[in-house]
Structure 1
Amino acid sequence: MADELELTILMPCLNEAETLATCIRKAQGFLDRTGIAGEIVIADNGSTDGSRQIAEGLGARVVPVDQRGYGAALAGGIEAARGRFVIMGDADDSYDFAKLDAFVAQLRDGADLVMGNRFAGGIAPGAMPWHHRYIGNPVLSSVGRLFFRTPIGDFHCGLRGFSRAAVLGLNLRTTGMEFASEMVVKATLAHLDLREVPTTLAKDGRSRPPHLRSFRDGWRHLRFLLLFSPRWLFLYPGIALLGLGLLVGAVLLPGPFRIGDVSFDVHTFLVAALCIIVGLQSISFAIIGRRFASRYGFIPRSGHYDRLLEALTLERILLIAIALMLVGLAALVWGVNQWALRDFGPLNASRTMRPVILAMTALVTGFQLMMSGFMSSMINIPIYERRVAEAPPPQPNP
């Protein structure tokens, strides 16, 4: 951009008239003190309390964002920013915009995303509810580190700086509070340079309740983390269930199994069959979910995973499915034959139910694999968007 600056200080705003002026003055003081060529942008999300007029009166640039939501406001502000770097923070005076030196230093040193860490910098009394401080934030941050192997310790800190070009390249899509998690997750998956600096959190200066809703927004963050990690949502539970079902089924297939006074028989064998069916379906969902997410840009592509998917062609999946269904049919025929040999009378349930359960399990899993193979192949169909030439305007009749 011809008028590009070094830094944009971005604040999302929805009815923050009580604290907005304080935040803007602190940000202006930081720019004046450091001599950084920068601007202050207020991404206004439909304020009706005079916030927009306050910002304009203090010389900040207001960017109206019609679509409601924390993420939507930030996305609109980032798009409109003229700074090479952007530092974003809430306009409720809980973050100190006068002390952004550590963020700028890390950005100038080459960092793509610099996160504040409130637990390392200090949280003032009353600044964070106890269930956020000791349950919500630690648990969600731990889940994020486990799922995505990110170095970030405070996933949900609202004060963070980043390279505008790098974040625009992440194609962030969420519009709510989960925007904060999406930025960290996608930056990690894209192998950007992520760093943390200590920051403080003060009690906000608003008299009204915050926009954040603890359980609703906490669930949205957790849901996002799960949906962005098909391995933890589908693959690992599926492998565990499938492995357990195969192990228990192999032990019980010949007959009952005893441990001390406890006897495991056909009912446990049925539970093992259920674990196999659900486990295999979960693994299929992991493959389909990963293929869909990587194809449409939600998750960066992976060389190892792409090679695995290339090996799992529809034809190979169908061969495995057909083999399983043939095994199931053979076991079912054997069971019917045993019934016929007894003139279709009563059977020994412990002995004859095993091949029937085996037959049903093989038939169901074979059918599941077949349908999953077709679904995965549908996602992988190449798409070519043909540009339709515009029709010439109608000519007036002579």
Structure 2
Amino acid sequence: MEEREVELTILMPCLNEAETLEICIKKAMSFLTDNHVDGEVLIADNGSTDGSQEIARRNGARVVDIEQKGYGSALRGGSEKARGKYVVMGDADDSYNFLNLMPFLEKLRAGYELVMGNRFKGGIEKGAMPPLHKYLGNPVLSFIGRIFYPSDIKDFHCGLRGYNRAAIQSLQLQTTGMEYASEMVVQATLHKLKMIEVPTTLSPDGRTRPPHLRSWRDGWRHLKFLMMYSPNWTFLYPGLILSVIGLLIMVIIGIGPSRIGAVNFGINTMMYGATSLLVGVNISLFSMFTKAYALSSGFIPNSPKTVSLLERFTVEKGVVIGVILTILGIIATIIAFVIWGSHSFGNLQPESIMKITIPATTLIAIGIELVFASFFLGILEIERKK
């Protein structure tokens, strides 16, 4: 009987939650009984030393020990040990109401693969969320998440959520810390799982000790994760913007003197434009590297457009483009050298000659960079074919 599958596993990560664990388990058990749900309460213990394991077993919950430390590790390990077709996960600090899980289960039964709680729709009780989290952290990170990974999810970090266990396990989530919450939403979005939100309430933490969450550290880990899994927003778009700005500056100043009001823009501005162009091209190449690596490792799914682009790109094409740009830079350098020779290699007017040498050196630098970048992409292609 212990090994049989059930419909629902209510999963709680646990690290020294003796103060609130019992009430959370009792609420979860009452939900299963009152709603005639075939289920279990599973405690994923992450090394508690306050007797949480005994409290859980005494109240009818099943306990699995997760050795690897971290919020994500506990939830991932607990999900692997769960017997339910569906899982509803929630913190064991009595901040979420385990008596009101029916909206989650109904959506799961209807075919949704990830059902997120939304605390801002359901209600946040006074003192339940620090102002920094309520008005800055959660809204900003959720907003960034929706931009990077378009979806209708408004509360990326709600700790109460339900999911189809097979669907989420197929994503092979990897993170071990608090950013696990973001990873689940991001990967579900990238893999086009069927998602929806339901309102849920957030109550004040029932513990007397401080929470495990560390605002700035964990906030940065969430933001870092969002950026790492979105090469377009992290590399490509900033790179293209810098490249276009730099190129426009160089072309405008190269054509003739530029003035806005009483301010003149000359070769010094052109040098900053060249720097912007160089940095932009470099950052854009990092986007290509990341997508090529993703194609071989599978850490994020690639779109058909990306796959087609990478398959059409060859080392030879990249080298040819790089060599052409380098040659153009060398030709411009020769022109500058001839002009210098016509002045008996003496002093020149910096404004005029540097309008040639700055673009020349920029072309040479970008050309050489493209040649070596092409070989590196070729190496990544070897790994993918292997």
* TM-score bucket (shorter structure): over 0.9
Question: Could you tell me which residue of structure 2 aligns to residue 8 of structure 1?
Answer: 9
What is the CA distance between 1:224 and its match in structure 2?
0.4
8 A Cα contact 2:3 2:83, kept in partner: no
Pairwise CA distance, 1:384: 7.7
Q: Report the Cα distance in structure 2 between the residues aligned to 1:73 and 1:2, rounded to whole angstroms.
A: 21
1:265 — aligned with what? 266
Q: Contact 1:141–1:155 at 8 Å: present in 2 too?
A: yes
Do the aligned residues in 2 keep the contact of 1:255 with 1:351 (CA within 8 Å)? Answer: no
Inter-partner Cα distance in structure 1 for 2:281 and 2:83? 50
| In 2, Cα distance between equivalents of 1:155 and 1:252 | 46
Deviates more, 1:37-46 or 1:373-382: 373-382
How far is the alpha carbon of 1:2 from its aligned partner?
A: 7.1
Cross-structure match for 2:234: 233
Matches within 5 A, 1:1-398: 3-382=4-383
SS in 2 for 1:381: helix
In the TM superposition, what whole-angstrom CA distance separates every residue of 1:230-262 from its partner, at most 9, and x where no partner exists?
A: 111111111111111111211111332223322
1:288 is displaced (CA, Å) by 0.8
- Where structure 1 has 5 or more consecutive residues not aligned to the other structure, the ranges are 386-398
After superposition, the CA RMSD in angstroms is 1.3
Greater mean deviation of Cα atoms: 283-292 or 215-224: 283-292
Whichever residue aligns with residue 197 of structure 2, its letter is E
Say which SS state the counterpart of residue 382 (structure 2) adopts.
coil
Which residue identity is paired with 1:38? G
CA distance in 1, matches of 2:5, 2:381: 41
Q: Provide the rounded CA distance (Å) in 1 between the counterparts of 2:354 and 2:383.
A: 46
| Secondary structure of the structure 2 residue equivalent to 1:114 | strand
CA–CA distance in structure 2, aligned partners of residues 383 and 253 of structure 1:
43
- Offset at residue 170 of structure 1 (A): 0.5
Is contact 1:256–1:266 with CA below 8 Å preserved after alignment? no
- Matches of 2:45 and 2:342 in 1, distance apart? 80
Q: Is the 8 A contact 1:117 1:154 kept in 2?
A: yes
Deviation at 1:137, TM superposition (A): 0.2
Provide the C-alpha distance between the structure 2 equivalents of 1:331 and 1:170, rounded to a whole number of angstroms.
52
Q: Residue 255 of structure 2: SS of its match in structure 1?
A: coil
For 2:69 and 2:385, the matched residues in 1 are separated by 33
CA distance in 2, matches of 1:144, 1:203: 26
* CA deviation map 1:63-85 (0-9, x unaligned): 10000000000000000001000
Distance in 1, Cα, partners of 2:151 & 2:71? 23
Letter in 2 for 1:80: K
In the superposition, the TM-score normalised over structure 2's length comes to 0.97
- The percent identity for this pair of structures is 51
Q: Report the Cα offset of residue 59 of structure 1.
A: 1.7
Q: Return the letter of the residue paired with 2:351.
A: S
Cα separation, 1, equivalents of 2:132 and 2:316? 51
CA-CA distance at 1:359 after TM superposition: 1.2
Contact 1:178 1:220 in 2 (8 A): yes
- The CA distance in 2 between the partners of 1:287 and 1:350, in whole Å, is 36
* Post-superposition offset of 1:342: 2.0
- Secondary structure in structure 1 of the residue aligned to 2:43: strand
**Aligned partners of 2:250 and 2:359 also within 8 Å:** no
1:380 is displaced (CA, Å) by 1.5
Per-residue CA deviation, residues 107-154 of structure 1 (Å, 9 max, x unaligned), is 000000000000000001000000100000000000000111011000
What's the offset of the Cα at 1:182? 0.3
Contact between 1:273 and 1:358, CA under 8 Å: does it hold in 2?
yes
Measure, in 1, the Cα distance between the counterparts of 2:145 and 2:235. Answer: 16
CA shift, 1:297, in A, is 1.7
User: C-alpha deviations, 1:24-58, integer Å up to 9, x for none?
Assistant: 00000001011111111100000001001111111
Structure 1 length-normalised TM: 0.94
SS of the equivalent of 1:25 reads: helix
Q: Which amino acid aligns with 2:328?
A: V
User: 1:332-369 CA distances to partner (integer Å, 9 max, x unpaired)?
Assistant: 12222222222221111000011111111001111111
Structure 2: stretches of 5+ with no match in the other structure: none
